[in-house]
Structure 1
Amino acid sequence: MSISGINLNATLTSQLELQKTQNENTDFEAVLQDAIASKDDEALKDACKQIEQYMLSSLFKQMKSSTEMGERLIPKGDYEEMFESYLVDEQCKIMCDAGGIGLADSMYKQITGAYNTQQNYKK
């Protein structure tokens, strides 16, 4: 029995990650625009938290990939490589739920401050 599709997993995983990134980028923009338009503070806070999760996840994935050099003593399996990014995403979600690094709070304050200033100029 020949299994020739194992190498396809890496290609498929990278394509799925690219598609996920593209979808998240459009989702973030849509969520932010909807929250600002509806003046819903909770939705705006949630959108800022999602962006913080995405930024932290990207940062940690890049840091992890920069530290992996050459062959390991025990090579990673296909499934470990496939689900490793999901593990990082979930860890970043938990980190942001616990308070994050303050990026979401800063973004929220900046967006609401800019919106309030813009509304004052219109009056």
Structure 2
Amino acid sequence: MTVNGIGGPSPLKLAREAVKSTVPGEGQEFARVLEQAAKSADDKKLKGACQQMEALFLHQLLQRMRATVPKGGLFPEDNGEEIFRDMLDGELAMQMSKAGGIGLAEMLYQQLKPQK
């Protein structure tokens, strides 16, 4: 049982495990960047890692939203269009995160930054 974060796993460990289990390929990269930022106590790296996490979340959100739209139209879809759409969603998610996103990066940063 934890009370106000006392007695439980660290927020860094929780974030690392959550990302590894959610997004296997990209999650491993985020976990590595997050670990390096925490070890070096570099605020800029930590903020970047938090933005990357928010971008991963937004990318997943965009993919799930797009999956709800019925397929079809004038021209049949092919693999190239699917790859382009995935790349577009990834870049859109990164730009959204850099522009402030939904506030997830800032909340993560506040939780993971070293307490003084």
TM-score scaled by structure 2?
0.73
Q: Does 1:67 align with 2:31?
A: no
* Counterpart secondary structure, 1:74: coil
Percent identity between matched residues is 36
Q: Quick check: which one's helix share is greater?
A: 1
List structure 1 segments (4+ residues) > 6 angstroms apart after TM superposition.
Answer: none
Look up the match of 1:14: none
- Counterpart amino acid of residue 41 in structure 2: K
TM-score scaled by structure 1?
0.69
Measure how far apart 1:97 and its partner are: 1.5
Q: Distance in 2 between matches of 1:62 and 1:68?
A: 12
Give unpaired runs (5+ residues) of structure 2.
1-22
Measure how far apart 1:39 and its partner are: 0.4
Measure how far apart 1:91 and its partner are: 0.9
Look up the match of 1:109: 110
Q: Distance in 1 between matches of 2:86 and 2:27?
A: 17
Look up the match of 2:19: none
* Counterpart secondary structure, 2:101: coil
Larger radius of gyration: 1
* Counterpart secondary structure, 2:87: helix
Give unpaired runs (5+ residues) of structure 1.
1-20
Look up the match of 1:4: none
Describe how 1:72-87 pairs up with structure 2 within 5 A: 72-87=73-88
The RMSD of aligned alpha carbons is 1.6
Structure 1's 78 and 30: CA in aligned 2 closer, same or farther, altered over 3 A?
closer
Q: Distance in 2 between matches of 1:89 and 1:68?
A: 21
